[in-house]
């Protein structure tokens, strides 16, 4: 496995809609190696997720995982390693929540936006098996963030008010405590 270069805002690959992965491609050693490298890269960067376009590959693949003690996201509930291929997301209702997100492709930047609180997720796993699940709260937000990457969308595109855009340090200094208190309430209410 290898740690890959993470593409940053301004790289055109981050603004393209990634293409579907065929069953043959998914079964092949090249895509399987890409998935392993994406997992290694996400873990090395302490990310919650990583989409293939973020490593310069315009395929509809993302890896998501949050472990206890993640220094970037200590407030996020754990998510076991999940590989999503050709995902489809469906909001289950109109309920949204206010969150504050960062992105490995936008280092040291965070901002406020709304995400759907409850989403249905349908995707292939790395073995090509269809998986369906319901994701709630912050976990739903993480899945939406990664699927956005596959559509060429960055979190800043979803921000209604750019005044909340800040560096990571300034977020921690001025806004983190209020945000974490609010998000802990969401986690208690919806469970993730």
Contact assessment for residue 173 and residue 126, using Cβ atoms and an 8 Å cutoff = no
DSSP state of 58: -
Q: How far, in Å, CA of 35 to CA of 37, rounded? A: 5
Residue 94, number of CB atoms within 10 A of its CB: 8
What Å distances lie between residue 117 and 55, 99, 141, 163, CA to CA? 28, 10, 7, 23
Q: Biggest alpha carbon distance in the chain?
A: 49
- As annotated, the active-site residues are 146
Q: How far, in Å, CA of 179 to CA of 182, rounded? A: 5
Q: How far, in Å, CA of 138 to CA of 159, rounded? A: 17
DSSP state of 189: H
Compute φ and ψ for 136, nearest 5 degrees. -130, 155
């Amino acid at each position: 496995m290898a740690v890959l270069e993470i593409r940053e805002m301004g790289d055109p690959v981050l603004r393209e809609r990634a293409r579907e992965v065929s069953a043959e491609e998914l079964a092949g050693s090249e895509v399987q190696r890409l998935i392993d490298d994406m997992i290694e890269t996400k873990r090395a960067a302490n990310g919650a997720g990583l989409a293939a376009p973020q490593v310069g590959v315009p395929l509809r693949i993302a890896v998501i995982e949050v472990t206890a003690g993640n220094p970037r996201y200590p407030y996020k509930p754990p998510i076991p390693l999940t590989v999503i291929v050709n995902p489809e997301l469906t909001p289950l209702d109109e309920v949204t929540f206010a969150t504050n997100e960062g992105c490995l492709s936008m280092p040291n930047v965070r901002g406020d936006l709304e995400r759907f609180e409850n989403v249905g997720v349908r995707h292939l796993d790395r073995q090509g098996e269809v998986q369906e699940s319901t994701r709630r709260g912050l976990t739903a937000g993480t899945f939406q963030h990664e699927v956005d990457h596959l559509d060429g969308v960055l979190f800043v595109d979803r921000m209604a008010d750019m005044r909340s855009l800040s560096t990571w340090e300034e977020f921690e200094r001025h806004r983190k405590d209020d945000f974490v208190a609010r998000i802990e309430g969401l986690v208690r209410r919806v469970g993730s």
